[in-house]
Amino acid sequence: MLFGKQRAVADSRSPSNSKPAMKENFLFHNPCYFSVCFFVSDRQVERDVTTSYKSITPTIEKLRKKEMGKENKVTLYGMWASPFVRRVKIALKIKGIPYEYVEEDLRNKSQFLLQYNPVHKKVPVLVHNGNPIAESLIILEYINETWKNGPKILPEDPFERARVRFWADFLDQQFLGSLRLETKSSGEAHENAMKDVFEKLTVFEEGTEGFFPNGTPHFEGENLGFLDIVLCSLFGSPKVGEEALDMKIIDPERHPLVHSWATAMNELPVVKETLPPHDKMVAFIQSLRGNSLD
């Protein structure tokens, strides 16, 4: 079985400052989730990032102390179309955690977002009692470890926990990496990129067959785990993608396990409640697709 060390999680990418971004740098859509991922096309970490972080630390501490008096106050900074933000929303709902949601304009980021996430300046950011946590997979682990009530998001067994972390990271790094190439290409390059997308999905399916001894994914109630949350955040309603892009990534004949897995999860109320509005999402994806090819 494929198993090994992966790079850091690639979450909703966005420009490293609050100024309006060039459209080829600002957004890219994920045609498999049929949603949106935000990224910096060539990830750049400023040389003065350490100095920048140190200079803003006193402000973060002031915000933290202000929130400390509000016991168990939870605030999520996000953007409505981001699948990475959707992961956090699903986890909070599963755990039954009340929270305040703050919608961010990624072309004009709020001072709170810049202060709470001064390194990457992107969503999602979860603020718990004044303490900011960034990166969606890290936030999921934090939720699991902090709130013991409700279903467990990660397995207790260390090996099983490592397995789901590995495949979640594979989706974010390998699978989404291939999709980035697909969304920015056309002609023969686009065809080659699509082949790579399908190959990565095949690797994922073959590597995760062992999670379902009976062969078919089935969920009791709303007991979704870590990998389930990551998967359903990326593979939203197929109808959105088919309408917006006239293409099908999740084919029941090519990848039956992933198809049945996503279908079963998308029927759960907790998942349906976090889906963006259909028409709004279709229009948004079509706009982003057009911009990416300009």
Q: How confident is the model at residue 247 (pLDDT cuts 50, 70, 90)?
A: confident
pLDDT in tens, 159-178: 999 999 999 999 999 998 88
**Selected residue with higher pLDDT from 59 and 291:** 291
CA nearest neighbour of 64 among 129, 20, 148: 129
- Whether residue 288 is predicted with pLDDT greater than 90 in this model: the reply is no
Burial 33-71 (b: 16+ CB within 10 A, else e): bbbbbbbbeeeeeeeeeeeeeeeeeeebeebeeebeeee
Q: How confident is the model at residue 217 (pLDDT cuts 50, 70, 90)?
A: confident
Q: Write the burial class of residue 157 (CB in 10 Å: 0-12 exposed, 13-18 middle, 19+ buried).
A: exposed
Lowest mean pLDDT of 20-34, 152-166, 247-261, name the range. 20-34
Q: Please give the model's pTM, rounded to 2 decimal places.
A: 0.77
Q: How confident is the model at residue 74 (pLDDT cuts 50, 70, 90)?
A: very high
CA atoms of 234 and 164, how far apart (whole Å): 16
Rg for the chain, CA atoms, rounded: 19
Q: What is the pLDDT of residue 286?
A: 80
pLDDT in tens, 114-134: 999 999 999 999 999 999 999
Q: Which two tokens stand for residue 254?
A: 């090519």
Q: What is the pLDDT of residue 45?
A: 34
Side chain identity at residue 64, one-letter code = R
DSSP assignment of 60-80 equals HHHHHHHHHTSTT-EEEEE-T
